[in-house]
Chain A
Amino acid sequence: MNLENMREWLARKLARADDTNAAAGGTSLEALHQDAEARTVTPAVLAEVPTEIGRVIRYVRERHGWSRRDLADLADIEEVDITQIETMADYAPAPRTIFNLASVCGFSTQRFQQLAKHVVIHEYHASNTGQFRFAARSKNVGQVTPDELEAVRVLVEVLSDKAIDKR
């Protein structure tokens, strides 16, 4: 929507309902804390996952409280696909699996496909220019530092920017 259309739209809305007192709330900080704690993924959860795509899927499952079965049902794929993505270092998911998972997880299909093609990756950037890079990962699995967990969180955030699919 260009600014002129937006101006006309806003004028129409304001003529119908004055928004000067608009506000919403009611959730206590305590309730927010509890929800945040329940949804926070710990490094230990990702420690045994050998690939970045596996970590991303595990991270999203954990945050939503989905079992592998739940996610497989939502994405209309086999549970074994999720298991293989999360446990195998050299598993190449089928295009349909990638597409359906991207859809359920709210990811950019294009970026998720990029990630899937680089099963073992280690470096990526979400910059202001929207650049997204992969490189080979040489680290051993078995432990995940808080920084690495933060890197997975950022990667999930980058994947969730679906604007790239429209460009």
Chain B
Amino acid sequence: MRREIVLEDRHTGNYVAATFLDRIDATYARHADDLWLTFLAAEMAKAQASGSPLRVPEHAHWRWERKVATVGHLLLYPTSAIEYDGDAQGLMLLKTDGEFARSPGQVGRPLVYVVFLASAPWNLPTVVARPRFRGVGTMLLRAAVDTSVDLGFKGRIGLHALRQSEAFYAGIGMTVWDQDPKKENLNYFEMTPEQAAAFLR
């Protein structure tokens, strides 16, 4: 299912209509991989040639095709994408069963877990001097919260933040917990129903 959303185009300063896709398949993910990895390789080569190598994004090695091919057929692993002009601007994989909250008052209650979330390399300030779109992460996270509400989980979501993005999750009101040795020692962030309500306002 496709629906219209908005993103901020940083090149023009305007908000533009983009497309949100509920469910992508492995073919779509492979196309996004091709696009993103080619772009990243070209930027890395340019930066190398200019004598100032890039700070490679932590998720530069991800292959979305493998992730989607592994679990995308299972209903409990919804996938989504944000598209502009036919190109994937961001991708997300959720898990809607078997993950539970840690926050006081919410312990043991089900939540939506954001397994993977990433933005296209041309949107990342660590890759390009003039990133294209802002709002990709926020709109994807909003979709995760909406899914949680739809499932009766009251907006509870959890995720392990890549280091580069911890400030963002703290900024939208999520609570940081501890490092998780089972998740590459990344910090675990959780959103309570109250925090979700504030985020959606």
Contacts and interface: CB of A to CB of B under 8 A. Distances in A.
Interface stretch (B28-36, B40-48, B101-109, B112-120): B112-120
A106 B148 CA distance: 12
Contact of A17 (B139, B151, B171): B171
B114 A24 contact: yes
Interface in A134-167: 153, 156-157, 160-163
B54 interface: no
Chain A interface category by residue count = 35 or more
A7 B125 contact: no
B177 interface: no
A35 B95 CA distance: 11
A21 B138 contact: no
Given A19-B135, A20-B125, A63-B75, A26 B160 contact: yes
A47 interface: no
Interface in B40-73: 57-59, 62, 66-67, 70-71, 73
Given A10-B8, A10-B15, A14-B134, A22 B168 contact: yes
Nearest to B133: A20
Given A11-B15, A32-B67, A21 B75 contact: no
B168 A19 contact: yes
Contacts of A10: 6-8, 15, 135, 138-139
Contacts, number: 145
Given A6-B6, A23-B58, A18 B171 contact: yes
B172 interface: yes
Interface in A3-36: 3, 6-7, 10-11, 13-14, 16-27, 29, 31-33, 35-36
B136 interface: yes
A22 B119 contact: yes
A13 B135 CA distance: 9
A118 B57 CA distance: 52
A69 interface: no
A25 B160 contact: yes
Contact of A23 (B118, B125, B182): B118
Given A10-B8, A63-B75, A156-B75, A26 B137 contact: no
Contacts of A6: 5-6
Interface string A34-73: 0110011000000000000000000000011000000000
Given A21-B162, A157-B75, 5 more contacts: A19-B137, A21-B125, A23-B165, A39-B76, A162-B150
